[in-house]
Structure 1
Amino acid sequence: MFRSAAFLRLWAGSTASGTATWALPFILGLAVLERSISAVELGVVLAARTAGFLAAVPVAGVLADRYPRRRVVLWAGLVAGCASPVIALGAGRSVVLTAVAAAVVGAGQGACRPAFQALTAEVVTAEHQRQQANAAMTLSVRVTTLVAPGLTALLAVVVDTPALLIATGVLWLVAALLPPAGGAAPVAPVGRTRFTADFLDGVREARRHPWFLAGLGALTAVIATGYSATGVVLPLVSRDRYGTEAVLAAALTAYTVGALIGAVLVSRWRPRARGWAALAGLGCYGFAPLALLLPVPAVVVVAAYAVAGLGIELFNVPWFTAAQREVEPRLLARVSSLDFLLSYGLAPVGLALIAPAIGHFGAGPVLVGCAVACFAAPAAAALVPSSRGFRVEQR
């Protein structure tokens, strides 16, 4: 794949956007440590970014199907790139200005996601190469997650947080300017329908693919329960059961390493029942809350997170590839926006509800419920006949 200059540009642009996306909350966390902003301000700014993301995703899905996907990536990156220095300007001075700028950055991030997904299908025209291409795209995200914390911490010794925030703006400009133009994918005529009608066309297209609705339901359930519960409970278990934050750090690192291994594995693996294999990988996330529930050695918790990370990539790559293969090209960005809107959109809801649920019922029952959801939701999705191969068989 990397012998193709067009794909290499696409991959580098996507990597730049992913790095900028990941870096913002980490850099703002450093600002809290430096007392440039308060923890409350951090929460407001990150909430504003999430709101911008969720507001932009469905709009961008329609726009990326109306207009060339490359143009949507360009404007999304430029918007986020211009707003990033404003966050640096407002941090510690105006919470309102910082939150508004973060919402604009979040909108750029949200607009990029469905556009990049559809642009990948245009740049990589050979169907047999798309799974490898999607694996390479997700691999860059995992490498960034693994390497970037230490690199950012080192940079913070040399430069201050405003400079790091401006650097994320530069990354967004790279994401805007570097990707290539896509192919001649069909684009809906401009001005003939309203936004709502165009968006509903995407919903109807999604409904034509029962495997997509079932898989999206399973993914949303896993993220809203397992991901949210482990995010809240893991720090507590690390501190209270094992008496050290090292278990927290090791588990999160193991998750990323597992995801890296999964991305490498799935770039070459082509199981016959690829949908069932992907859903089985998604179900592996249930081992994470299960390990937090049971009084097991710390190494078992770390191993469970590694398995969860591996499994999530065994799902993600075939999932993206199937959407690019099965969904009508002129509607791909809209269908992809539904994916990001529900799976990512409900994650904050899960995080918001998990803590009160633990306070009311206790960590044990909540972890049991989350583990059951993580195992049961993919299993239920696998019962949909078209889920076996992530395709509707033609009779």
Structure 2
Amino acid sequence: MSDPAVTAVPAMVRRLLIGRTLSLLGTAMIPTALILAIIEATGSGTAVGVVLASELIPQLLLLPVGGVIADRVRPQRLAFATDVVRGLAQLAIGVELLIGSAQLLHLSILSAIAGAAIALGTPTMSPLVISTVPERDRLRVNGQLGVARGLALVVGPGIVGALIVTVGAGWLFVAIALVFFAGGSMLGGLRTAARPPRSKEATFFRDLAEGWSEVRKRRWFWTNLLGHGVSNLTAGIFMTLGPLIAIRVLGGEISWVIIYQCGMVGMIAGAFVAPRLSLARPLIATSLGGAVFALPLAAFAIPGPVWLNAAAYFVAMFGLGILNTLWQTVMQQQFPPQTLARADSYDALLSFAARPLGLALAAPVAAMTSEAGVLIGAAVLVGAFNMGLLALPDVRRMRFRASPDKEDALA
């Protein structure tokens, strides 16, 4: 007769994986759905920019707030609430589109609400993992979540395209809402421990300061955050100039589709492989994973044939898949559980801010200089900065902490 305590953990992990996969899928569907729906409703490119900015700005402003809240409450409760809010926002957009009353102001407000929910929900991922998954299994589960994220980025836009052609934009957003509701419902079976009682002196601003203090005293962490920011900045540059070069020089839209999909396959493969690697020093691997993003930037600066650019982007995203998986696992080991969400929020904040900056700067700077010059400069920046992290003793010496099972076996 099986022990219920033994079988309960895999069941909770499955619910976590299914729930977060659905949430990631809904997240991946929204940008394409919004762009197509707004163009269909207004025909205005400016309107697309306004609505997307309305979603992004609350994310940048509220991510640290989300980190503080996620360190105060049970993570599944906050994740559930944010999934429901995001589902309701998409449902409201769908209803407006179905009855023909969609207005730019309404779409912007609803997108801002969804962006706020993203900011509050994003820092719950790592606390959910450490409160649900035994330490010995966290690297594997982080890899599975990385695979889910990559698959969502590949499958999500395809589902959007199929639904908008068959049922229309309104029902598309209703479907996205149902995806979020289903993802949130999977969190209902998770059982996590209550947060430790907080002192009476604890306030929001003290918690915010404490989180920053935890980040600042770990040099390996904040220097890697800067590396992630540089990687996201250069990724924004690549995502602006890459499609333009592919369409103009490499054979049209189909060449960019091939290159982009090769990158997505690479990210999925990297997340799949990461838990299977025997790595003594994970931060060396994450630094190398960030540095290889120089390859597609340099390849597009030439530009080489489609196969070369596709191979370079595959390798870059393969490195990103490994980086994300190992990085999340290191964070979950090195930060106290009561401050993990705040640390994660700073990581997400820098990433969320840097990529739009790259998207905004790439074209104007290229117009003043040259596309090749911008791409080569970005390649040198991301390669040199991430390789430079290897000069830090904290980075070179960091090891995975042995799980309790392994420690018992060694005793």
Q: TM-score, with normalisation over the residues of structure 2?
A: 0.90
* Secondary structure in structure 2 of the residue aligned to 1:183: coil
Over 3 Å counting, the alpha-carbon distance change for 1:72 and 1:389 in structure 2 is farther
Map of 1:375 onto structure 2 = 383
- For residue 295 of structure 1, what is the amino acid of its counterpart? P
> Which among 280, 288, 293 is matched to residue 285 of structure 1?
293
1:121 aligns with 2:127: no
Q: TM-score, with normalisation over the residues of structure 1?
A: 0.93
CA offsets, 1:224-270, max 9 Å, x none? 1x201111111111122123111110111011000111111102113
Unaligned 5+ segments in structure 2 are 1-6, 402-411
CA contact (8 A) 1:49 1:102 kept: yes
Deviates more, 1:80-89 or 1:174-183: 174-183
Unaligned 5+ segments in structure 1 are none
Cα distance, 1:69 vs structure 2? 1.0
CA contact (8 A) 2:281 2:400 kept: no
> Which among 6, 10, 34 is matched to residue 4 of structure 1?
10
For residues 338 and 162 of structure 1, the distance between their equivalents in structure 2, rounded to whole angstroms, comes to 35
CA contact (8 A) 2:9 2:133 kept: no
CA contact (8 A) 2:215 2:222 kept: yes
For residues 7 and 246 of structure 1, the distance between their equivalents in structure 2, rounded to whole angstroms, comes to 39
Map of 2:405 onto structure 1 = none
CA offsets, 1:128-154, max 9 Å, x none? 211111000110111122223333322
For residues 81 and 43 of structure 1, the distance between their equivalents in structure 2, rounded to whole angstroms, comes to 22
Deviates more, 1:308-317 or 1:343-352: 343-352
1:84 aligns with 2:93: no
Map of 2:393 onto structure 1 = 385
> Which among 110, 119, 125 is matched to residue 110 of structure 1?
119
1:100 aligns with 2:109: yes
Map of 2:157 onto structure 1 = 149
Map of 2:215 onto structure 1 = 206
1:169 aligns with 2:150: no
Cα distance, 1:182 vs structure 2? 4.8
Map of 1:50 onto structure 2 = 56
Q: Percent identity?
A: 27
> Which among 185, 193, 196 is matched to residue 184 of structure 1?
193
For residues 383 and 245 of structure 1, the distance between their equivalents in structure 2, rounded to whole angstroms, comes to 41
Deviates more, 1:163-172 or 1:301-310: 163-172
Map of 2:268 onto structure 1 = 260
For residues 199 and 291 of structure 2, the distance between their equivalents in structure 1, rounded to whole angstroms, comes to 41
Cα distance, 1:331 vs structure 2? 0.4
> Which among 60, 63, 71 is matched to residue 66 of structure 2?
60
> Which among 362, 365, 368 is matched to residue 354 of structure 1?
362
CA offsets, 1:65-93, max 9 Å, x none? 11111111121112111111222345563
For residues 235 and 196 of structure 2, the distance between their equivalents in structure 1, rounded to whole angstroms, comes to 36
Cα distance, 1:330 vs structure 2? 0.4
Deviates more, 1:200-209 or 1:311-320: 200-209
Map of 2:4 onto structure 1 = none
Over 3 Å counting, the alpha-carbon distance change for 1:2 and 1:221 in structure 2 is farther
Larger Rg: 2
1:307 aligns with 2:315: yes
Deviates more, 1:309-318 or 1:107-116: 107-116
* Secondary structure in structure 2 of the residue aligned to 1:31: helix
Map of 2:352 onto structure 1 = 344
CA contact (8 A) 1:134 1:317 kept: yes
Over 3 Å counting, the alpha-carbon distance change for 1:118 and 1:141 in structure 2 is same
- For residue 319 of structure 2, what is the amino acid of its counterpart? G
For residues 112 and 146 of structure 1, the distance between their equivalents in structure 2, rounded to whole angstroms, comes to 22
How many pairs does the alignment contain? 391
1:322 aligns with 2:304: no
- For residue 147 of structure 1, what is the amino acid of its counterpart? V
Over 3 Å counting, the alpha-carbon distance change for 1:185 and 1:319 in structure 2 is farther
CA contact (8 A) 2:212 2:343 kept: yes
* Secondary structure in structure 1 of the residue aligned to 2:85: helix
CA contact (8 A) 1:122 1:184 kept: yes
CA contact (8 A) 1:186 1:329 kept: no
> Which among 1, 11, 22 is matched to residue 16 of structure 1?
22
- For residue 196 of structure 1, what is the amino acid of its counterpart? F
Q: What root-mean-square deviation, in Å, do the aligned CA atoms of Structure 1 and Structure 2 show? A: 2.1
CA offsets, 1:291-340, max 9 Å, x none? 10113211100111101110101111110000000001100001100100
Over 3 Å counting, the alpha-carbon distance change for 1:307 and 1:188 in structure 2 is farther
Map of 1:334 onto structure 2 = 342
For residues 216 and 27 of structure 1, the distance between their equivalents in structure 2, rounded to whole angstroms, comes to 31
Deviates more, 1:175-184 or 1:195-204: 175-184
- For residue 43 of structure 1, what is the amino acid of its counterpart? G
Over 3 Å counting, the alpha-carbon distance change for 1:319 and 1:294 in structure 2 is same
For residues 76 and 187 of structure 1, the distance between their equivalents in structure 2, rounded to whole angstroms, comes to 22
For residues 299 and 397 of structure 2, the distance between their equivalents in structure 1, rounded to whole angstroms, comes to 30
